[in-house]
């Protein structure tokens, strides 16, 4: 079966500084009208590099071609925050970390300093292909009556999408950790708790996650934590995403407080000190 995912050939057409830590980049491409409008936490890939390295990756076999290439462009995972089919545009909210040439990875560098007009590939689900609404979506609350969203700034685009698409009759709670006060934004949740890292605050101050023990937030064994709930039939559903050590600590606290593991998803979105692949 053909994967719903495929590369879209796009260009950077605008950037907007949303807050201290976020740059919204707008990408445009001829056939982005076919990009799936699913949003939620559906993951997409940005493929960043010189045009000559992008050219061979425009087909459905892009990933195997990339794997076999002697020189590979960077691939990073993101969440779309808007799909404007008629305009052939999408938005991505990129967390800025480090400065270009001084700690920033390829994606953070691109968001901060790529020239408007610069080309990249966006690997996203194609709305004309079967399965485009489900592929790459970890948020699966099933029949839950209460949804608890926990995350850091990299999970904020997904959380904002999920809260913008609330189901009637379900209670939504979110606990979010961001670098700066300025990153706090309006979100529609039944209960919303912000923690600001520059004030020394953390998600791990907030009950029930405050039960994390020393060591829970330590880096794991190298694998990025990825543990999705399978079939939630009622009650509460916990969705946690962000820095892997933080998510690991949230998972440990959830386990200690008796959260049903089958009704919880834990996703390491990045790892401190490790380059994403």
**Beta carbon of residue 95, minimum distance to ligand FAD (angstroms, whole number):** 3
Q: Shortest gap between Cβ of 244 and ligand FAD (angstroms)? A: 9
Query: Looking only at residues 26 through 65 of this chain, which bind ligand FAD when binding is defined by CB under 6 A?
Result: 43
Secondary structure of 229-257 in HEC code, one letter for each residue: CCCCCCCEEEEEEEEHHHHHHHHHHHHHC
Q: 132 exposed, middle or buried (CB, 10 Å; 0-12, 13-18, 19+)?
A: buried
Stretch that binds ligand FAD, among 3-11, 142-150, 164-172, 269-277 (CB under 6 A): 269-277
Nearest approach, Cβ of 118 to ligand FAD (angstroms)? 15
Do 27 and 89 form a contact (C-beta atoms < 8 A)? yes
**76 touches ligand FAD by CB under 6 A:** yes
Query: Is the separation of the CB atoms in 160 and 167 below 8 Å?
Result: no
How many residues bind to ligand FAD according to rule CB under 6 A?
A: 23
Give the per-residue contact string, 130-159, with ligand FAD (x = CB under 6 A; - = no): ------------------------x--x--
Could you say which of 5, 66, 239, 270 contacts ligand FAD (CB under 6 A)?
270
Among 37, 100, 105, 131, binds ligand FAD (CB under 6 A): 105
Residue whose beta carbon is closest to ligand FAD = 105
Residue 262 structure tokens: 């089958």
Distance CA 277, CA 266 (A): 19
Question: What count of other Cβ atoms lies within 10 Å of the Cβ of residue 272?
Answer: 10
- Residue among 91 and 145 whose Cβ is closer to ligand FAD: 91
CA distance 252 to 254: 5
**Residue 8: count of CB within 10 angstroms of its CB:** 22
Pairing of β 5-17 and β 22-28: antiparallel
Q: Minimum distance from CB of 154 to ligand FAD (Å)?
A: 4
Residues, the chain: 277
Distance (Å, rounded) from C-alpha 253 to C-alpha 162? Answer: 23
- Structure-token pair, residue 21: 């830590």
Q: Which stretch binds ligand FAD (CB under 6 A): 76-84, 188-196, 244-252, 257-265?
A: 76-84
By CB under 6 A, name the one of 4, 29, 106, 151 that touches ligand FAD: 106
| Region binding ligand FAD by CB under 6 A among candidate stretches 63-71, 89-97, 142-150, 194-202 | 89-97
Interaction between residue 94 and ligand FAD (CB under 6 A): yes
Gyration radius from the chain CA atoms: 19
Between 158 and 212, name the residue whose CB sits nearer to ligand FAD.
158
Scanning 32-40, 72-80, 82-90, 166-174 for contacts with ligand FAD by CB under 6 A, the matching segment is: 72-80
Question: Between residues 236 and 276, which has the closer beta carbon with respect to ligand FAD?
Answer: 276
Give the C-alpha distances (Å, rounded to integers) separating 106 from 93, 102, 103, 167, 253. Answer: 15, 11, 10, 36, 33
Residue 273 in the binding site for ligand FAD (CB under 6 A):
yes
Q: Is residue 95 within the footprint of ligand FAD (CB under 6 A)?
A: yes
The footprint of ligand FAD (CB under 6 A) covers: 43, 76-79, 93-95, 97, 105-108, 154, 157, 269-276
């Amino acid at each position: 079966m053909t994967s719903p995912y495929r590369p879209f050939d796009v260009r950077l057409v605008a950037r907007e500084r949303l807050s201290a830590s976020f740059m919204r980049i707008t990408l445009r491409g001829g056939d982005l009208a076919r990009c799936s409008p699913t949003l939620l936490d559906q993951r997409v890939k940005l493929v960043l590099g010189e045009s000559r390295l992008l050219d061979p990756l425009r087909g459905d076999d892009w990933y195997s071609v990339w794997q076999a290439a002697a020189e590979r462009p960077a691939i990073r995972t993101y969440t779309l925050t808007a799909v404007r089919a008629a305009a052939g545009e999408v938005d991505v909210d990129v967390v800025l970390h480090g400065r270009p040439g001084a700690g920033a990875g390829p994606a953070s560098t691109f968001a901060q300093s790529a020239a408007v007009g610069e080309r990249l590939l966006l690997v996203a689900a194609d709305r004309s292909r079967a399965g485009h609404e489900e592929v790459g979506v970890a948020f699966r609350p099933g029949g839950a009556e209460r949804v608890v969203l926990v995350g850091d700034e990299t999970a904020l685009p997904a959380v904002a999408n999920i809260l913008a698409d609330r189901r009637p009759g379900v209670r939504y709670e979110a606990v979010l950790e961001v670098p700066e006060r300025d990153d706090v934004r309006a979100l529609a949740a039944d209960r919303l708790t912000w923690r600001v890292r520059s004030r020394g605050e953390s998600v791990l101050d907030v009950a029930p996650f405050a039960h994390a023990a020393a060591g829970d937030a330590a880096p794991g064994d190298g694998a990025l934590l990825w543990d999705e709930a399978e079939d939630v039939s009622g009650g509460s559903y916990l969705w946690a995403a962000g820095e892997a050590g933080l998510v690991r600590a949230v998972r440990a606290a959830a386990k200690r407080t008796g959260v049903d593991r089958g009704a919880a998803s834990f996703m390491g979105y990045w790892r401190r000190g490790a380059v994403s692949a």
